[in-house]
Structures are given as structure tokens and as C-alpha cells.
Amino acid sequence: MADPRRRVPGTDRVLDAPDVAAAVSRLGRDLVKQAIHQAQRRARAGLVEPDDVVAETLAALPASASSARRVLNATGVLLHTNLGRAALSDSAVQALHEAAGTTDVELDLHTGRRGPRGAATLRALLDAVPRAEAAHVVNNGAAALVLAATALARGGEIVLARGEMVEIGDGFRIPDLLTSTGARLREVGTTNRVRLDDYRDAVGPDTGFVLKVHPSNFVIEGFTSSVPVSALRGIGVPVVADIGSGLLHPHPVLPAEPDASSTLADGADLVIASGDKLLGGPQAGLLLGRCDLVRRLRRDPLARALRVDKLTLAALEATLRGPATPTERALRRDREHLRHRAEALADALAAAGIPADPQASSATVGGGGAPGVELPSAAVALPEHYAKPLRTGTPAVLARVERGRCLLDLAALPPEDDDVLRRAVLAVA
């Protein structure tokens, strides 16, 4: 009897199959060949039929050359750091597509000569925050703070309240970031209380600036006092305010959250904010304020190492000039609308024999923004054992496990994804 292994098709023959050839154009030859060789080995081991090598190859191939997977955010955390924080708007996604090729990021098309990098994005920032004289963009909020410390206080002192010496996540701490630049910290006040005279007594000839850091991921209550930016106006050195979460204007849903426009109006000389939090854009560090200070930041050698690429600039401009972002729409959803969505989803799942119950829920902003603020929401409760198969399914669904139930919170999920979520649950039921 002939050895069945002789029937296993060769690599070139598999590559010539139309569907495999299409996969090569999408994923690259090396990745496809790895899948072919794996399928051939399984066929030679008798685990699959030789005639099924093409199908086995196609089944093993990923949807794209990137390992990044789409995840439906059903956690009730609007800006989930582990999920990449803000989802981009359709206009920002389109801008990314346009900027993926060659673009005029640093070219003046009218003159044909080199132009200022990201000029349109900086103009959009200044249009959004007219109180700022100038703006600069780096690759994240921590980078913005490091650049400010390097350009304005290298070899000098930064005055900072002890209660604002925060840890920003993943073990990184504001004091460590600041001192890594060669600046020294001058701590004032106590953990829970600081007064204006504490700042006045600390400011001296070596002071580069006074730093105010918004404690955006925790709340201190009780016997506390702090000094607002408005009270530091005229203290004799620049006042830099790291507001954290990225609001450019006051928000009716989050009245206690600081914003760039108000902070500049209160007297801050430089405001630092993040692009991928409440602004709803790409990861970026935004610096807004006095023209002379921003010029010093822009001309510092470190600015070159921290500059953003054309994709970030394009997505940020589209976020600023385009329609409401997914983050903004999520903030403004009312509980009644969410309740109706949860009931419809629960009814559809129950009709398929899945034990699903709609219930009221509370969502949070997340991403280091609006600590302690609860947003009214609604969820569908499933048995707890659904959590892992949903998380590992396609598309992946990240739920919240609470009191022995798997909760699908709809606060961060756009309505157009409700049917995708329903089919994902049905697929793992």
C-alpha cells in the first residue's frame, strides 16, 4: 500500500491555492509558510487528511499580521487602561488611514519647502483652548511632565506638595520621574494639608517652577487642605499644573474634574494633560500655556526624543476638530437608554436558553480620571462561568465579575455593538 504521506501536497502547491495566495498578500509569505509547514506536519502524523492541508493552513492563519485583538469593553470602565483607554472616533480612524501613507506632516505644499511639524494639529489645539498662547505635543502625559522638568528646572528645584507626590500606575511615581531629569524636589506641606505660606517659604532663586498635580486616581477626605492654582498666581516663578485626565473645558457630567481652559484662566503658566483619556483621542501628552515656556520646551534636546509621529498628529487633529468622540458619547448616555438596551439583550439571550437578567449598574471613568465618581449604567448578568470563554472568544469580551455573576455592563459599549455582544455570548453558550 502506498505511503499516505506521499499525498501531502508540497509547499509551493499549497502556496498556489487561490485562498492561500490571497493570505500571502494580506499576511506576508513567512507567516503563511509557517502555517503550511504546521499543517503538513499534522498530515504526515496522520492527524489530518492530506487533502485538508489547504483548509488546515487557512484555519490556522490570524485575521491580520498584528497580534492585537479586538475586545468588547463590557467592564463598565469607560477608559480602561488595559484596553488602550479611549476608543478613537470614526474621523480619527479615517485620519489614521490617510496618514498611513506619505503625508505633508512636515512639508508646506504651497512652497514645496519644509514646513513646521504638525502645524495643523497645534492650531487645532489652540483653537480648542484659546487661553493658551502656544501648544506642544509629546508621546504621553509622563513625557510632557519630564520635558517640563528638564527644560525648566534642570539643576534647580521643583516645589511640590507632599500630598501630590502620586504613583501614576505600573509602579511609576511622580517624584522618580521628576528627579530622573536632574531636578531636585522641594516638598512642602504634609500628606493631608498644605498652605499658601508653605509654597511662599519654599520658592527661592533655585526654583524652576511650582508644580500642581491633580490626584486623578484617588481621593483624600477628612482633615485636608490644598492650595488652588488661582492662589499661586504671582508667586514669582512659573506654575505648572498637571491636570491628568485631559478635559479641555468644564464638563457637566464631571463638574469636579479640572480642565485646561479653567486652569489657565486661574493663572497656570503651563498645563499638562493626556490625549487618550477624557479628550477621547490617541495617546499623547499635551502642553498648553505661555509662549515663552512652550518655546523653551520645544527647543530642548529632549523634545526630539519625545516627539509624536504623523499618525498621532493626524488622529489628534481629527479628535479635536471632528464630531463627539466615543468617550464623550459614553459620558452622556442616560440610564434609561442603557436599561432598555440591557433588557433587549437579556430577552434575546433568554430566548436562546441562556440565563440572563438585566440589572442596574454603576460605571466609572477609569484611566486615572474622576476618582470616586459613579456613572449610572445598566448591565446583563450571566453565570460567572461565562467570563473566561467570553474573554478568550472571538471577538473577545471583557466583562466584570461581581458577587458571583458575570456582568456585561453597557456603559462603555456603543449601541451598534449590542448585536456583536449578543452573538459573542451565543457562540460560547
Same-domain check for residues 373 and 308 = no
Per DSSP, 133 falls in state S
Residue 150 lies in a domain: yes
Contact partners, residue 27, CB within 8 Å, separation at least 6: 61, 62, 64, 65
Same-domain check for residues 354 and 420 = yes
Pair 48, 60: CB distance under 8 Å:
no
Pair 396, 71: CB distance under 8 Å:
yes
Pair 72, 422: CB distance under 8 Å:
no
Same-domain check for residues 43 and 151 = no
Same-domain check for residues 361 and 304 = no
H-only helix segments in 300-334: 301-305, 310-321, 326-331
Please say which residue of 323, 348, 371 terminates a domain: 323
The C-alpha cell 457630567 sits at 253
In this prediction the pTM is 0.89
Q: Rg of the Cα trace of the chain?
A: 27
Pair 263, 233: CB distance under 8 Å:
no
Same-domain check for residues 165 and 191 = yes
Same-domain check for residues 139 and 240 = yes
H-only helix segments in 45-79: 53-60
Choose among 308, 310, 313, 325: nearest CA to 122.
313
The C-alpha cell 474634574 sits at 257
Residue 302 lies in a domain: yes
What residues are paired with 240 via a beta bridge? Answer: 211, 270
Residues spanned by the domain of 111: 90-323
Same-domain check for residues 349 and 413 = yes
pLDDT of residue 118: 93
Residue 283 lies in a domain: yes
Secondary-structure breakdown of the chain: helix, strand, coil percentages, each rounded to the nearest 5: 40, 20, 40
pLDDT of residue 254: 94
Residue 45 lies in a domain: yes
Same-domain check for residues 162 and 176 = yes
Residue 397 lies in a domain: yes
Q: Which cell numbers hold the place of 201?
A: 517659604
**Ranges of the chain with pLDDT below 50:** 1
Pairing assessment for the beta strands 207-213 and 157-161 based on DSSP bridges: parallel
Choose among 421, 102, 114, 143: nearest CA to 273.
143
Same-domain check for residues 200 and 252 = yes
Q: Which cell numbers hold the place of 301?
A: 534636546
DSSP string over 233-263: TTSSS-EEEEEES--SS-BTTBTTS--HHHH
Give the CATH number of the domain where residue 388 resides. Answer: 3.90.1150.180
3-state SS class at 73: strand
What residues are paired with 209 via a beta bridge? Answer: 158
Same-domain check for residues 337 and 374 = yes
Residue 41 lies in a domain: yes
How many structural domains is the chain composed of?
A: 3
> pLDDT of 299-323, one tens digit each?
999 999 999 999 999 999 999 999 9
Same-domain check for residues 40 and 186 = no
> pLDDT of 102-125, one tens digit each?
999 999 999 999 989 999 999 999
Pair 407, 334: CB distance under 8 Å:
no
CA distance 22 to 24: 5
Please say which residue of 323, 348, 365 terminates a domain: 323
Give the CATH number of the domain where residue 177 resides. Answer: 3.40.640.10
pLDDT of residue 216: 58
Residue 66 lies in a domain: no
Same-domain check for residues 251 and 276 = yes
The C-alpha cell 493658551 sits at 132
Rounded to an integer, what is the distance from CA 424 to the centroid of its chain?
A: 24
